[in-house]
Structure 1
């Protein structure tokens, strides 16, 4: 919705550069604020408008960052090519060298088309496709190194490469939903892509609605230790030796635990189908 459409709906509204007092509703649009008196609005209208125009926590200069205006304010942008968008969540120490961190990002990514923070701790990187683009594993190493250098902790969702002409804004909005839904479920990987979370993300609702799954989950006692075992096996593609190493457990001990679990439940975590099912049970 544009300012012009808002004015048509609410002719008493005003456009101004700064946010109004708490007695008025300030809607951020195109780098400005459309201000309405709350007393003239119903409570449901206020909630709807606040949802449509969420308050920005961080100022971004749209002249310097046209991708921000496009992705967050639906402003037009003149770009051509194939891009991927990386969303990041950065936990900073008290004495964080922000400028140095940002300089490191621009130096590391030669094909970066734009980069900015959207809040104090969240931001996006827009990278144009090139044959030498970083793999997911390389990106994981890059951000782990940055975290070690700056005493920070970064979680990154690496979007897919899409043609700008394929409606990249709508695709980014779905990637935003995926990042928000899955970021707290990650136990091992801090840099992930759709393939890492697709199974959980797209089956979660069906799992939650299934009476069979709910009943089975009540009968199946999964201790915190078993949950750690399932997650370790899942993240190591069922490899027992690698999972045992991550769990700081002897391989024979892990093998014994898996056998006991099979005797009690009939589910073999050595079989990928059973492992997938148990993984979905503990993450639904």
Structure 2
């Protein structure tokens, strides 16, 4: 959207980071997700145009107001989001991961920072890129937060602040030449997850990558190759729910029955029914992977219809 607006004002510039400080001569606009920032010289705008743009978009606050108030947080911000060198003395064997966070509702960053401090280890560094969005830099230690605990923490933040937080848990990497490019790919995955997984709170590389890959397969190819599976799911969505739950629970029939509040024999009957009708054995790795991709494609089509 901002890229299209830039065409109307050729002298404007599009950025991925907000202004570093107050700029009285420029109108800085951003989207709800704070992924892009458009700087428009104010001399190009009439007062009514400026008022209209501020109604359609959010006016971006300067970075200095977002509480990157330590040398470490500023250095990590410049490294992650500006491509600068990391001006910190870090041993080469240490590994770090980046946990991205995004809260669309307005939230006080000081309170949010306090909440994060109670969740993460003391050495974690909190970096803001806007109000309610940013990253948490976590060093790999025996106290690194497990994924399931972050899911619980997200629920606590949602309840305490009446907001809808989303997190992307990055993988641990050494601070080598590949670190920055790996983080950029994780940014792409987080952006994809926020746009395509409305119900999710906490995302990871394994939870988003299959759908990300599937999106790049031509629609006609997916429709053709999954035709019989999609048709069966459309006719019996309870069967689809059972199959997907089974695959997401490591093909464990007992665990699937527990999650779905069903008898184990009922789950097994549905699995056998599916295998008989489709002819793909989902008890094998290749069969499970193929059908799981079909489940994701069915969900995507279902969401589009809604």
Decide: shared fold, TM above 0.5.
yes
SS of the residue corresponding to residue 118 of structure 2 reads: helix
Q: How does 1:25-44 map to 2 (within 5 A)?
A: 35=41
Matches within 5 A, 1:41-120: 57-61=60-64, 64=70, 65-66=73-74, 67-81=76-90, 82-90=95-103, 99-120=110-131
Quote the residue 1:236 is aligned against: 249
| SS at structure 2 position matched to 1:118 | strand
Contact kept? 2:242, 2:256, Cα under 8 Å: yes
* Contact in 2 for aligned 1:16/1:32 (Cα 8 Å): no
* CA distance 1:185–1:21, change in 2 (3 Å): closer
Q: Secondary structure at the match of 2:241?
A: helix
SS in 1 for 2:141: coil
State which drifts further: 112-121 or 167-176.
112-121
CA contact (8 A) 1:85 1:124 kept: yes
In 2, Cα distance between equivalents of 1:119 and 1:185: 22
Where do 1:270-281 residues align within 5 Å? 270-281=283-294
Offset of residue 235 of structure 1: 1.9
Residue pairs, 1:119-158, within 5 angstroms? 119-158=130-169
SS in 2 for 1:170: helix
Task: Indicate yes or no: 2:252 matched with 1:249.
Answer: no
SS in 2 for 1:242: helix
Coordinate RMSD, CA, aligned: 3.9
**Counterpart in 2 of 1:216?**
225
Alignment correspondent of 2:274: 261
Cα distance in 2 between the residues matched to 1:192 and 1:277: 22
Q: Distance in 2 between matches of 1:258 and 1:32?
A: 52
Offset of residue 38 of structure 1: 6.8
Match of 1:50 in 2: none
Q: How many residues align?
A: 247
> Structure 1 residues 264, 37: closer, same or farther in 2, change over 3 A?
farther
Aligned counterparts of 1:122 and 1:155: Cα–Cα separation in 2 = 9
**Structure 1: gaps of 5 or more residues:** 1-9, 23-30, 40-54
Distance in 2 (alpha carbons) for counterparts of 1:38 and 1:97: 33
